[in-house]
Amino acid sequence: MLDSEFDLDWSEFSFFDWIPKVIRLQSVRDDDWQITHKSMLGTTLEFKFETLKNWLEQNNNSEKSQVQTQNYVQALRRSGLIE
């Protein structure tokens, strides 16, 4: 897998067993998150990882930021970029 060369532990972005669709949609439609999300397009996995860590820190590890980052990481998994 591509993430192995950086030895990144993506499991640290796993907070919930299940996220209701309405909560997930409300979280990912947030304007500030969309700016951050778009800033990661076409970047390295290491950059994405650090950006997600910073996003959580900037948002005091809020539930909303956890939903946002977990959803993003799940999308990376679905696309086969990480395990």
Q: Can you give the residue range of the structural domain that contains 41?
A: 19-78
Contact criterion met (CB below 8 Å) for 6 and 46:
yes
Global pTM reads 0.87
Mean pLDDT over each residue of the chain, to the nearest integer: 91
Sort 67 into a burial class: Cβ within 10 Å, 0-12 / 13-18 / 19+.
buried
Domain tally, the chain: 1
- Residue 73 included in any domain: yes
Confidence of residue 79 (pLDDT cuts 50, 70, 90): very high
Residue 12 lies in a domain: no
Q: Is residue 6 part of a domain?
A: no
Terminal Cα-to-Cα distance of the chain (whole angstroms):
7
Q: What is the pLDDT of residue 24?
A: 87
The one-letter code for the residue type at 1 is: M
Is residue 83 situated within a structural domain?
Answer: no
Q: Is residue 34 part of a domain?
A: yes
Let me know if residue 11 belongs to a domain: no
Helix axes 21-28, 31-39, angle to 10 degrees: 70
Give a yes or no: residue 13 inside a domain.
no
**CB contact at 8 A, 49 and 8:** yes
**Mean per-residue pLDDT for 14-30?**
90
Is 37 in contact with 75 (CB distance < 8 Å)?
no
Q: Is 59 inside a domain boundary?
A: yes
